[in-house]
Amino acid sequence: MDLLVIGTVALDDIETPYGTRKDIVGGSATYFSYAASFFTTVGVVGAVGGDFPAEYLDLLRSREIDLSGLEVLADKQSFHWAGRYEGSMESAQTLSTDLNVLENYRPVVPEGSQKTSFAFLANAEPSLQLSVLDQLEGTRFLVCDTMNLWINNYLDGLKQVFARVDGIVINEGEAVMLTGIDNVVAAADALLEMGPHTVIIKRGGHGSFLRCREGRFAIPAYPLTAVKDPTGAGDSFAGGFMGYLASRKSTAFADLKRAMAYGTVVASFDVEDFSLDSFRRIQRCDIESRLGQFEDYVRF
């Protein structure tokens, strides 16, 4: 296994202008691992309840995703999130969040996965991320995500995480909250001073921005005619990004930039349908074809 993700595997209720879906598979680790599986072998650390449908687990296994780190607690209910998107669908309105199995949950990284070369800490309370960091040994490239809740309430712990990881992936609003700088380039520079080697700021429909010790790189979003469900776009981007790097076994600047392009393309497939439905219809060749189109769009 080349890549490990620690995050949520969940059931979602989603409402968008294109329809409503209930109890569909979701969660940060779900989107990340499926996206990464187009490029490399990936394992999941997380927990689900006894109500989690076997068909969803079989779907992940069909991608040869290692679920040995996914605990199934039969006497509990799975993490459940309900959200609604309206208008331009730039952000979701959370209707409900039921932690269920995740209440008091502490991730346990299987012994055979503790030395995985590439790892991603999906959005979680900083103390949980720190507990995972204590379990990993010699990880070559370790990247984390976060959100406004942790920035507002657990900033000291979050700074400890940033000081111990190689990269962070956050959205533009979170970058402003963390730095107090309302400029993506300057904010990325400030985040780099917090410890990580690599900073990626996601900008939604405006693409993403990379800052690392070797330089800067900006890339637009892939142009689509319709977005049906933005859920999981950020985690799919991260999965494509990390999956490509793990397949190359490299974090050179040129590979980081190309990984950004792959992440952008993979995320563009995710938002074209609900849950993993779009991913289930494509193969690596479809990603390569769209990457070629993307290169034509941005070349000048």
Instruction: Dump pLDDT digits (tens) for 138-180.
Output: 899 999 999 998 999 999 999 999 999 999 999 999 999 999 9
Q: What are the strands, taking DSSP E only, across the chain?
A: 3-6, 10-16, 19-26, 42-49, 66-73, 80-84, 93-98, 118-121, 141-145, 167-171, 198-202, 208-212, 215-219
User: How much is the pLDDT for 90?
Assistant: 83
User: How much is the pLDDT for 91?
Assistant: 84
Mean pLDDT of 204-221: 95
User: How much is the pLDDT for 262?
Assistant: 98
Q: How confident is residue 205, by pLDDT bands cut at 50, 70 and 90?
A: confident
Among 146, 97, 108, 141, CA closest to 126? 146
The H or E element that residue 261 is part of is helix 253-270
For the chain, the straight-line distance linking the first and the last C-alpha, in angstroms and rounded, comes to: 38
| Cβ atoms of residues 243 and 116 within 8 Å | no
User: How much is the pLDDT for 204?
Assistant: 87
User: How much is the pLDDT for 222?
Assistant: 97
231, pLDDT greater than 90? yes
Among 71, 77, 24, 75, CA closest to 46? 71
Q: Which value, to the nearest 10 degrees, does the dihedral of the CA atoms of residues 183, 170, 128, 82 take? A: 120
pLDDT in tens, 101-134: 999 999 999 998 999 999 999 999 999 999 999 9
Domain that holds residue 111: 3-298
Percent with pLDDT over 70 in the chain: 100
Surface-to-core class of residue 137, CB atoms within 10 Å of its CB (0-12 exposed, 13-18 middle, 19+ buried): exposed
pLDDT in tens, 73-102: 999 999 999 999 998 888 899 999 999 999
Give the distance, in angstroms, between the CA of residue 191 and the centroid of all CA atoms in the same chain: 19
Q: Look at the chain and report how many structural domains it folds into.
A: 1
48: CATH: 3.40.1190.20
184, pLDDT greater than 90? yes
